[in-house]
Amino acid sequence: MLKIVRIGFTPLKKKKGVTLVEILMALVLFSLIGIKIFSIFSQGVTLWKREKEMYALHQKSRLFLELIAGELRNTVSFQPLDFEGKKNSISFLLFSNRYNTGNLCKINYYFDSQEQCLRRSYQTFSEIHLGKKGKDEKLTAGVEDFNISYAYSKEQDDFDWKDYWESKKDLPIGIKIHLKLINKYGKSEKYSKTIYMPIGKLGVL
């Protein structure tokens, strides 16, 4: 017997479309991912800027400390002009062509608390002799604190550091500079440098 097979068409299933809710959920998900990526990137940029600022701060302090150290190591003793060592300022004599004078200069480093900056003034020997005012320059801004201490003798071959120098005729053998700088983010960093002077002497307590 012949078997009759009916040939027909299988009805197509309805394709399910993307609903509005699914689209909205996808948009929210992508937005959250985008916000997270942007947040990580923004934090990285901020951290990089702060590190760059701190590096600039470090360089600024290093240059200043090296400048004053170099000049202090070359200071000279010459009467009747005296060495003056105080907590927030220091004055000494120097032979230098740095100031286009070619003769003896009196150098003064001091802390300007109103402007929060370090300043340096200098007078030539002729300006001092004639009673003329020398030049004054601003070295670095963003200074929160600046102080100096001087080496005095102590038992057991050790130093005792005081924030003044009593002997105007003699130069101290050791000077310690303390510098505290603050950056634009409000973060401060402390720096210090000890300078030993070859022609100096220990103060006597």
Q: What is the pLDDT of residue 140?
A: 82
Q: Model confidence over 143-163: pLDDT tens digits?
A: 888 999 998 877 656 778 898
C-alpha 161/C-alpha 150 separation (Å) is 5
Within-domain flag for 62: yes
Within-domain flag for 146: yes
Within-domain flag for 183: yes
Report in angstroms the alpha-carbon separations of 163 from 50, 74, 146, 203.
33, 22, 11, 12
Within-domain flag for 32: no
Q: What is the pLDDT of residue 158?
A: 73
Q: Model confidence over 85-127: pLDDT tens digits?
A: 999 999 988 876 665 555 778 889 999 988 888 898 888 877 8
Q: Model confidence over 48-68: pLDDT tens digits?
A: 776 777 677 778 788 888 888
Within-domain flag for 31: no
The pair of structure tokens assigned to 38 is 């942007």
- The model's pTM is 0.69
In the block, residue with structure tokens 């929160």? 144
Q: Smallest Cα–Cα separation from 73: which of 61, 84, 65?
A: 65
Strand ranges for 131-187 from DSSP E: 135-141, 143-154, 158-162, 174-182
Number of compact structural domains in the chain: 1
Tell me which residue range forms the domain holding 134. 51-196
Within-domain flag for 72: yes
Question: DSSP characters for 46-109?
Answer: HHHHHHHHHHHHHHHHHHHHHHHHHHHHTEE-BTTB--EE-SSEEEEEEE-STTS--SEEEEEE
